[in-house]
Each structure stands twice: as structure tokens, then as C-alpha cells.
Structure 1
């Protein structure tokens, strides 16, 4: 081990280490004009300043594609025409052999948002100015959000678009008696499309208000708690305009009815698809004729018929705590979406859900998790706890998922309009780098591979390493093999207060930064390159590492980790 340490100490001067108090990369703030780009699109960049002597570098993973001098606060770049590729753009200079990164931003070139879904939401559709709407869309664009769930935009669940004769009404109220403006909804859709952000309308796949009969919904289409159709199954909403009566998704008359109402939506609003919701396991329930209904088994035929009816529209169905997920993913939905509840409260639970979705879909779709942070803290006003959010995103992103959390505000409750908690300036800045990281390295994070258990040791004793799942007071190691690469994610739980992702009361602690640590990986392959990237270091810019093969071990030094870092070994 002395030999291993001696080799790695020779590499110390090759790294540009950032002081612990200056980890946030804010010197040059970069923006792109769209959330994602189609192959062949020209990308427009803007910067808040020009730094003399700095260079713009375009990279795919750790490979430099192009460089040019930074000479203006605005410029364009046309990336390679390959579809479904992520890139990192870095502003840098080298002085006396030391590299300084002054700014970074990621770019996603993908023709279809569902390949690498980054889902956001909107929940306020009152009368808003164009300026307000543009500001919200631009904020989501800056996080590379490529699709938006329009939460509770609709009028009645069984008649989502209120009509005034043959044209849409100019306004209506939702079930919570909130005002909804047709123009606000339409403008959000249009402005989102201008930024290459898709729009998905929210609605239950089953559900009717208590006046359902006057609108043509038959009681024969409902679900009942008894076999004599005298006790309708419903979701009570005290103090709101109605309870929600549960209809039978397997009833083709109900399907035809709600599909016709959905046609009205698509004919009048340019939504890209339907985000379907459910209410979880309803227990033992019956149809009108007294037959037991397994509601999860109705999901597949409903979705298949929906796709037949609207072949050019996307569809997503929330698997509440994985209820019915196997039925959902067998029906050809475009992404896997899970709303996470008890008892799935640990970081391990998040990873298990993502891996379960991968297995159920034969690795055909990627996962979005609706996982509500600081849940109890959000009962009153305040700020989200930065460590809680970053740890949760680190786990979700490292396992290839994304997190539904960003809208007009950050999400803390299943009722999306709740905005008691806000992002601090620090959290917003750091979280943007996490989203840049997810985009820039999407081809490693979200495009296949097999999770494994590498033998990784701390060459100098700085880290207490344990393979996933996480153990208190350790740094978790997540391994994945992908083509000619071995991926090693490090998540620094070494001084966390707990391993519960929801961080219910906002008490998760900030991890201690580890610097210049030596790692030894059991390895028998010929290695061509080792590189490292972290959203907590230089804005996620990749850094090539000096390495040495000593016996059966690959030895290298990592510059810094706070929450999360990724090592890539290329063969």
C-alpha cells in the first residue's frame, strides 16, 4: 500500500482544487435558449460576462469535440447530428499548468423528451401576464426541464375542458374552487413549445364529480365497495366542490366517454399527451354487476385503447408506490412514473424502485420519481433543507432516474399548489449544477448498463467505503458496467444524520468535504483512461486522473467529494 500511495502523491499538482468555501461556480453564468435540441439544431448561448483569455470547450463525456476563444457574451454552436447525446460546455483557462473552470452548462440533443425525461410541473393557472408565464418557463428551461405536468388545470375530472357551446370557456374553477384561465393554460403550452418543452395534461384515468349523472356518466360505470352497487367507492375531499367517485377503467363505455372528452382537450389545446393519475390500491371493490374488480389489471387495456385512440400523443400513468406498475409498463407508456410513499422512505428504496422499473420495462423506459421533500416542514413557511434535497437527487440521478420537484416553486406535497417552502439561493445554484450533470452525462447515467459490486478500497484511509445499499457513516459505492466502462458513483453519507430521503423535518446534515483521497480498484483489465466528475466540483466539468496499475489494483487519486462524485474507468 505504501507503493500505491507514493504513486498517487505524484499527481497532486495536476488537479485544480477548489477551496471548501468557494465550491459554487458562479463566476460566469451560462444559459442556453432551449431546454433540449433536435439533431442539427443550432444552440444559442449567453453569458453574463466575457473573461479575457478564457476558452469555450465542448465535450461529450470526457472527449473534447471543439474549442474556441471566448470573445462575446453570446455565441452559437452546432453539435454533432447524433441523436440522444449529452454535452458539457466549459469556460476554462490554464495558467502555469493549473486549469481554472469559470462556468459550465449542459446541452441535451434528443429528438424525443421521453428518452431522457426531466419532468417539471405547473399548478397555478389563474390569470397571469405573459411576463409571469415567460419567467416560469425560462426558469424550467434553465434546469433543462423537457416536459411539464399541468397539475389540476382541468375543470371536472370527467369533463376536463369546460366548454361554452362549441368553444372552450374562457375560465372555470377546479375541484378546489381555484380560478383557471384558458388563456393561461394555452400560453404556457405555447411558450413551453418555443423552448422545446412538452406539455402533459393531468387527469385521473378514473374519476367523476358528484354531478356525474347530469353530464352523461352512468352509475353502471362506477366502482363499488359492495356487490349490490349501493355504496360507491370514492375519494373524499371535505370542503372542496366534490368528492371523486371512482369509475371502472376496464369499462369500455367509460373509456369511450373519457376518450371523447380527451378529444375535446386535444382539439382545443396543443398538449403533447396525458399524464394519468390514480388513487392507489382501493381494496376489494366491485363493478355494478357485483363482480370483483382488480383495478390494477384494468390499467393495461385502458392504456392500450388510449394509445390506439391517440397514437401520436404521449401517455404516462402514475404508479402510486408501485401499485400496478407491471400492468402499466406492459402497456407501452412513454416513461415510468412512481409517486413514492411509506414505507419506501430510505435512499435504498428510491434505488430499488428505479431498478424495479428498469426490470419491468426490460430497460425500455426511464424513471421519474415524484418524491416529496421536507414533507412535514412544508406545513409552514420556510426554506427547503439543501442537504436533504441534494442527497435525494444524487441517489435518484446516480441510479438513472429523475425527480419531479421543480415548477413555479419546489415541490413538497402531493397537492402541488402548496408552496410554503422555497429554494434558498444556494440550493437553486447547486441544484442547477445537478441538473447540468444529469444532462451532460445522460449517456452514462440513463442509457443502460448493469449495476455491479466493484471492490474499491480507500488507499489512504480517508474514506470508509461500503458498496450500496448505504450504511451510516460511510461513503456508498454504486458500481455499473457500461460497454467499455466501469462506473463508480460515490455518495458521501459519512456524517449524515439519517438515511431517510424525505428528510421530513428538514434536518439532514451537510456532508464533510473530502479532498485528495486515494482509491484502489480491483482490476485485471487494460485501462485506457480514468476520469472524474462531480456536480459539487467545477460545475460538473470532467477531470482526467493519473492512474497506475499495481498488481491486481488500479490506483488513482480523486480531487474532491462533498455529496456525490462519479469515476469512469475506460478500457
Structure 2
């Protein structure tokens, strides 16, 4: 069995005991466990007897954990935080059969550091969450056992991950519709907006509905142990009228609903789905815990993802995208993995995460989460590397104080900092055939993100991707501070997951560093 490391929790508080489980056959050699923060060695200790390695307490931050000895190495990462909701690394669960292996779900949360899990379609009906008793069939024919839901919330809590119950904020099924149709949102034709004849849509801010909806959520917290809720919508309508002729601004109704749910459930975590960025401009400032966006057409390219992520971060909340990688259903695992890598590189480098994986190791390929994908083992290995990288380099990626300074630094007029690769164009936007450079200012220094689009025919995020073309070594040239020796380090989630120093030489007013070749994404950290 390959040697792997598995944190005991998806996220740790500073008061928690930190432990890492060693799995696989250890070679007959002494080993060393080391703790790293942004490439700096903080702590080493000899490998302890037994599978569990206990690590001394650490201040809040993201850390890399390595186990080395005799030419072998295993890695993982850990997060320590006293504000778990300051980040959202989201996963999902979508089946609740009797006897479900709930520990496997909790183990995936630990392995990928998923600090919150969305419980998709657990309820009896959209407008009657708990009305089915202990065992029932949901509105789409899936069997549900509430004992399994409770086992999942308990196992995830022990694994350091929160449980968020799915709840549609304005959807009513045909059996319940006669009681609510007076609050319908109507088309210009007078017919109610709906999902065919399966669900009908009402004004989410209708007072009677808000009283009912918040009571249903509160009962689910008490009965099932949810830590919060994923509040869903379908992206339409934007404006409508109710049967009494009153116009409804649905964006404003969503904001009022979030306010009301927060008032009734002050301690619950809340995540609202902004379908295609609607209406992030209102909900990003509502009393919720993250900005969650489900992108569809016209948000089809990497550049569009980047723009939406940058805009969403302005609210100061964690940002997560439900960017479904349909590519896994019709392309080779390698081509689909590359698509996911470019998507994650774009989102991570712009301060956002992606809801992509869940259950005991599934990948999302469809907005109906029950239709998920069983990936190849190589896909889960790839995702583990990239999720580890995101946690270890959290301070360079997700700190809310990070700002984009690309337009102020690159180019001949600025002459402040730029990169060059022989024969390859460097661009400020995502362009096929180029190296896309993105510069940020962080509390830890300047960070340059390089995404390799050489060899690509387009920049669609949900399409099979070609193998990245060779970049060759790069040159980073930047102005330095008189009397200070600058430092440049690089990391790559595939080739070199820990920041390592590269040589820097001084030439007049500029310092020059040689960057190694890279595959998809390279992070360059510049300390002036």
C-alpha cells in the first residue's frame, strides 16, 4: 500500500490536539516528521511508534506536513484556525441509505481538508423537509434514512467538518402548491414560474413562507444536527408579479430571506447559491458566511471565472464556485483532470475555491448531485495534491487582504515586475497559447501566478484540455529595494509542492531570477 498521511481532522482549532495518521507500509528506516509554513521549516521530530503522529500545537495558519526517511516521502497539509467559517472548502454528500459507510465520507473530508459538506437532497419534500418520518423516498425517488443523516453529521463533526443541509428557498411541489399558490411568481402569460410540473416557484420573501421556511430549518437543526444550510435557487425569474399584481424584485426578496434566516438561526452557517452570479451584488453583503456561485453560460471561459471571482471577493467573504466538470463524463481521465486543474488554478489564484468532490471519493459532473462521477484513482491522487497545496499556501491565496496589482506592476510603462519565457507571449488575460500572468499583493509579499495555456486551442474551463506545452525556464525581472537582498521562491502543486528558493542576481535597478519550467500553474513568491 502506498505510504500516505491523513490528518485526523479537516480543520483544527488552535486548542485542538493535532494528529496525522500514517497509512501504508513504512520502510525499515528511521523517519522524520517535519512541519513547514510557506517553505520555512518550523518543527521536526522523529517518527513516533504506531500510526498516529502527534504534532505540537501551532498558531493559526496553513501548514505542510512531511514524512521523510531513506529516500521516501509522504506529504499532507493542515489548517489551524479559530474562525472555521473564514474559509470554505466545500464537499458534498448525496445518498443516505441504511448502513452507509459514513466514516468513508468523513475520511474524504479529512484527506481533502473539506471543512463543510453540503447534504444534497436529504429532505422529504422541498416545502416539507421532515414530513416523511424516519424513512422515505424523496421527490425524485431517492431512498432516505434520517438515521444515516444523523450518523453523517456526527461523523463529520468529529472529523472537523461542518454539515450544511440543502434547502431550496422558493420551491414547492405539486402536493403542497395549493397551500402556497397565492404567493406564486407569475410569468407575463399568467402561468407560474416552475421547473416543468415538478416544482413551482413563489416569492421567497412572502411573510407566511418565511415563517414556515425558517421553522422547518430550525426543526432540522434540532433533529438532525446540521451546522447550517445551503440555500438554493434556480437563477430565475429576476422580476415577476404575484397573483395580486404586486411586482417582485427577486434579488431583494433573496436578501430579505437571508436576513430572516439569520435572525431566526443566529448560530447557523449560511451559504446562498448565486446562480450565474445572480444576485451576488445584493447577497454578498447579506448576513451569510460565504459567496457561492454556480457558473453557467456565458461564464464559460477561464477569464470569465476570474472576473466573477475577483468581483465576488470584494465582499470580504470566502468565495466558492460550483463549477461542474461535465468533462469527466465524456473525456479521458487525463484530459478531464487537466480541465479541473486549469479551473482550480484560475479559481485558487483569484482567491476562490471549487465545490468538486464529495461522498467517499466522487466528482461532481451535474447540478443534480446524485448523478456524480466515480473517478480514476489517479484523479483522487491529483485532487489530493492540489487541495494540500491550497491549504499549505492559504496565506498567499485566500487571505481577504490580498489585492490584484497586475495592471500596476507589469508592462513597459510600469517596469516594476514582469516575467518572460522564450518564444511565449505573457498576457494579463487568459489567452490560448500564452502564459497568463496574474500579480497580487499579499501580507506575505508579492505573488505572481503563472498559468500555462501553451498548447491549448481555447480557454474553456469545462472542456477536455490538451497536455500543456513546454514553457522552458522563465525569467522574473523586478525592481528591488536599495540595501535589501530580495528573495524569490517558487512552488507548483504537481512538481514542487513546497516553496523553494531560486537564485537572484542584481542588474542595475532590477533583480533577475530564473524560474523553473512548469506544467499548469506556478506560484512565485517575491520578498522584497
Compute the TM-score of the two structures, normalised by the length of structure 1: 0.85
Question: CA distance change for structure 1 residues 27 and 190 in 2, over 3 Å: closer, same or farther?
Answer: closer
Q: 3-state DSSP class of the match of 1:327? A: helix
CA deviations 1:270-318 (Å, max 9, x no partner) are: 1011100111131542123101111111111111111111101111110
SS at match of 1:267: helix
Match of 1:431 in 2: 383
Q: CA deviation at 1:374?
A: 2.7
In structure 2, the residue matched to 1:552 is 509
Asked if residue 57 in structure 1 is aligned to residue 15 in structure 2, the reply is no
State the distance in 2 between where 1:431 and 1:549 align.
Answer: 38
- Structure 1 CA distance for aligned equivalents of residues 7 and 156 of structure 2: 14
Name 1:477's counterpart in structure 2. 437
Q: CA deviation at 1:201?
A: 0.5
Partner of 2:80: 109
What secondary structure sits across from 1:385 in the alignment?
helix
The answer to whether structure 1 residue 135 and structure 2 residue 104 are counterparts is yes
Note the alpha carbon deviations across 1:256-281, whole angstroms, 9 max, x for none.
Answer: 01112222212211101110011113
> CA offsets per residue over residues 207-228 of structure 1, 9 Å max, x none?
11112157xx33322222259x
CA contact (8 A) 2:118 2:230 kept: yes
CA deviation map 1:31-70 (0-9, x unaligned): 1111110112121112234453543221111222111233
Q: How does 1:311-330 map to 2 (within 5 A)?
A: 311-330=266-285
- Indicate conservation of the 8 Å contact 2:454/2:470, yes or no: no
1:77-226 equivalences in 2 (<5 Å): 77-80=55-58, 82-83=59-60, 85-92=61-68, 102-129=73-100, 132-162=101-131, 169-212=133-176, 217-226=179-188
| Greater alpha carbon shift after TM alignment, 32-41 vs 517-526 | 517-526
3-state DSSP of counterpart to 1:541: strand
Shift of 1:136: 2.3
The one of 461, 477, 490 aligned to 2:450: 490
Q: Distance in 1 between matches of 2:271 and 2:54?
A: 35
| CA root-mean-square deviation | 2.3
Asked whether the equivalents of residues 11 and 115 of structure 2 are also in contact (C-alpha less than 8 Å), the reply is: yes
Tell me the distance in 1 between the aligned counterparts of 2:39 and 2:332: 42
What is the Cα deviation at residue 231 of structure 1?
Answer: 2.6
Are the counterparts in 2 of residues 90 and 541 from structure 1 also a CA contact under 8 Å? Answer: no
Distance 1:415 1:45 in 2: 34
Give the conservation status (yes or no) of the 8 Å contact 1:513–1:560. Answer: yes
Query: Do the aligned partners of residues 519 and 76 (structure 1) sit closer, same or farther apart at CA in structure 2, a change above 3 Å counting?
Result: same
2:499 — aligned with what?
A: 542
Looking at structure 2, the residues matched to 170 and 281 of structure 1 have their Cα atoms a distance apart, in angstroms, of: 33
Aligned length: 512
Aligned-partner Cα distance in 2 for 1:560–1:29: 27
* Equivalent-residue separation in structure 1 for 2:68 and 2:332 (angstroms): 40
Residue in structure 1 matching 2:475, options 516, 519, 529: 519
1:287 counterpart residue number: 242
Give the 3 Å change call, closer, same or farther, for CA 465–332 of structure 1 in structure 2: farther
1:45 aligns with 2:20: yes
The partner residue of 2:404 within 451, 464, 483 is 451
Confirm or deny: 8 A CA contact 2:474 2:516 kept in the other structure: no
Distance change (3 Å), C-alpha of 1:472 and 1:271: same
Residue-by-residue CA offset, 1:411-444 (whole Å, 9 max, x unaligned): 011111113x432222211211100011011111
For structure 1, the residue ranges without an aligned partner over 5 or more in a row are: 1-25, 164-168, 238-242
Matched, 1:404 2:355: yes
* Distance in 2 of aligned mates of 1:284 and 1:458: 47
- The alpha carbon displacement at 1:133 in A equals 1.9
Q: Please say if 1:391 is aligned against 2:366.
A: no
Instruction: Give 1:270-309 correspondences, 5 Å limit.
Output: 270-309=225-264
Residue pairs, 1:62-77, within 5 angstroms: 62-70=39-47, 72=49, 73-77=51-55
Structure 1 residues 232 and 90, CA gap change in structure 2 (3 angstroms)? same
Unaligned residue ranges in structure 2 (runs of 5+):
411-416
Give the Å deviation of 1:144: 0.7
Provide the rounded CA distance (Å) in 2 between the counterparts of 1:246 and 1:285: 11
CA contact (8 A) 2:185 2:242 kept: yes
Shift of 1:325: 1.0
Structure-1 separation of matches of 2:266 and 2:186: 32
Kept after mapping to 1: 8 A contact 2:169/2:233: yes
- 1:381–1:547 Cα change, 3 Å: closer
Q: CA deviation at 1:71?
A: 5.1
Partner in structure 2 of residue 240 of structure 1:
none
CA distance in 2, matches of 1:383, 1:528: 38
TM-score, normalisation: structure 2: 0.91
Aligned equivalents of 2:444 and 2:159: distance in 1? 35
Aligned equivalents of 1:182, 1:397: Cα separation in 2: 35
* 1:550–1:314 distance in 2 versus 1, CA, 3 Å: same
Q: CA deviation at 1:384?
A: 7.0
TM-aligned CA distance change 1:282 to 1:67, over 3 Å = same
8 Å contact from structure 2 (residues 335, 466) kept in 1: no
